[in-house]
A and B are shown apart, each in its own frame.
Chain A
C-alpha cells in the first residue's frame, strides 16, 4: 500500500525552463510534506517543506504547492539548472516522526 506516490519515474527538461515534479498521497491525515533531493552515492538532502495549513511555500528557485482536496503536491524549479539533475523524493508525515517516502523522480536538466 503505497501511501505516497510519484508516478513519473523520470523527467527531462532544458536548462532555464521550469521543472515540475508531482506527488500524490492517499492518507488525508498527513499534515506535513517535504521534498528531498538525492545525488548518486549520497544520502538525500532536505530541500523544502510545507505544512498542511498552507498551499504554497517558496525558497528561492524552489516552490512547493499543496492541493489538499486533490491530495496532490508539486515541486516547481524555476529556472532549472544542470546542477538540479538528481532524484527527487517527496515525503509525508502525520505528527512528524515517521516520514513516508515516494519512489522518486529522476530529473535530468539538459544544458
Chain B
C-alpha cells in the first residue's frame, strides 16, 4: 500500500536550473494537490487538480507548472529555479472534496 509517492526526497538546484518533482498515487483518487512548506509557516497550495486533464492555480502558483495526463501522476515543474523556491514540497491526494488528504513524505529542495 504505497499511497502517495514523491521523488526525489532531496535535491539541490542552482539558480536558473529547472526540474520536475514527481508525484504518483495508487489509490485512484481524483483530487491531487501540491503544497509547499516554508520554515515556521503553514502549507501553501501551489496547484491542484480535480481529475485527469484538469488543473488550477492555488495560492502561490508563480514559478511553477503542472500537468495531469493520468489519474495517478501529478508532476510539478520548476522553471528557472530561484532561491525563494527553497522549501519542502508535499504532494497530496483525496478521493472526494471533503475527505482528509493523503500526503506524500515530501521533497526538500534547496536552490543555491
- Chain A residues with CB under 8 Å of chain B are 2, 4, 6, 9, 32, 34, 36, 41-46, 49, 51, 89, 93, 95-104
Q: Is the CB of B43 within 8 A of A96?
A: no
Which B residues are CB-close (under 8 A) to A51? 98
- Chain B residues with CB under 8 Å of chain A are 4, 31, 33, 35, 40-45, 48, 50, 58, 90, 92, 96-98, 100-106
Q: Is the CB of A98 within 8 A of B45?
A: yes
Specify the main secondary structure of chain A where it touches its partner. Answer: loop
Q: Is the CB of A49 within 8 A of B100?
A: yes
Min CB–CB distance B26 → chain A (angstroms): 15
Which A residues are CB-close (under 8 A) to B104? 43
Q: Is the CB of B43 within 8 A of A32?
A: no
